[in-house]
Structure 1
Amino acid sequence: MRTLGLIGGMSAESTALYYSHLNRLARERLGGLHSARLAMISIDFAPLAEMQARGEWDEAGQMMAAEARRLEAAGAEAILICANTMHIVAEAVEAAVEVPVLHICDATAAALRAAGSRRPLLLATRFTMEKDFYRDRLAQAGIEAVVPGADDRAALHAIIYDELCQGVISPASKAVVLDMIARAEGVDGVIFGCTEIGLLISPDDLALPVVDTTLAHAQAGMAFALG
């Protein structure tokens, strides 16, 4: 089994899901007492969140690249950035290491195609919904991601940073997000495009096909590890 390197802590809540998913997938594939071979760096999210808010993406990319190099030196044979938003700087991370960086958009696109969704609603941070990096990468795979309106984007961003990233799960916020989805027109699926969204709502809450990016990314990682 190959060793996966995880850059986590963005947030700690969703990084715990990565760890759980990867170990469960290893056990399901190999049986018995098998678990995933992982090297993890869990960063302090607060300074990075401040960089995000100030638009200091080059500085954030340098920081993430340094962490990737540390993981490579520790024996990681592929890198997973355990956050959708921080794939804004995926190219900087890729340039810093010799091992592959398994991109969350590629895993998401493959899962969407398998689910038969070509025009999904993208639920994510404001950065992921409004910047081009995510939707453009999906478009290269034939996926036209739709984002909520401006007010809904602001509300969802606040739910993610003020609640989910801090371990707060609110029934009222769940109702807000489910209402966003119900009002979306012309979509044929839903992307949980922030790694914390699955803490708030479940695919079982929806009639549409759902891709939880945290799970899809972990599945792609385990496929590499066992490939």
Structure 2
Amino acid sequence: MQHDETDLVHWWFDGSLRSLFFLAGEAAGSPRASLEDEVLRFCRTLISSSVASRLHSPSAVADQLALLALRWDAELGSAAPQDVADDLERAAGRTRTGEFLHLLADLVRAAELEAAHDYTSLPMNHWEALTMYRSIFQFTYLFDSGDFGDRADAIRARIRGECSTNCRGELATLVAEVSDALVRFPDDESLEANLGPAMPWATRAVLIEINRQAHEHLSGHHAQGR
């Protein structure tokens, strides 16, 4: 398949790579985040995502980075959006951008081998928890609003509010996220360490109640296609 230069620019500077360049730039300016840790978290989101495809696997991203590195000086560097160029300049520091992209590709390949399951030595931070559990996070406003007598009422309001033309799809996503979090983090201590930075309210009891009400709503309100 032939691609014109506009297609190539869109391919390399949107989606997963753009997110990675932003994280690399942020790590360069933070005393609390290392490039290696952010690359490892980035790879975990790709490996763990229920909607990730091979196109966005860490191996595919590493291949794209290596190819981008080869073409950076000759053509693609001048075509990069300004925010991407700024992020890469911050991340690379005194290293040439093409060399830094090769380094980033090597880090992604190495991170893929260790990214799958270890959340003990490197827990999730705020952005990783939001990326992995976006639907769960949406309960935060209701819990913080003070408009409900207890969290069970807030959960019920949110789930009924999802009852739209795509209710099944939205609640299926929510149930998948809750089930993933309960399996991945089997006790309150690991939940707090990983979801706590973004969702300090996310205990096992609360997640189990969300799961229960979502299933109850689907079986009660949408039985036999209702």
Normalised to the residue count of structure 1, the TM-score between the two structures is 0.27
Task: Flag the structure with more relative contact order, 1 or 2, with Cα contacts below 8 A and sequence separation at least 6.
Answer: 1
As a proportion of its length, which structure holds more strand?
1
Normalised to the residue count of structure 2, the TM-score between the two structures is 0.27
As a proportion of its length, which structure holds more helix?
2
Bigger Rg over Cα: 2
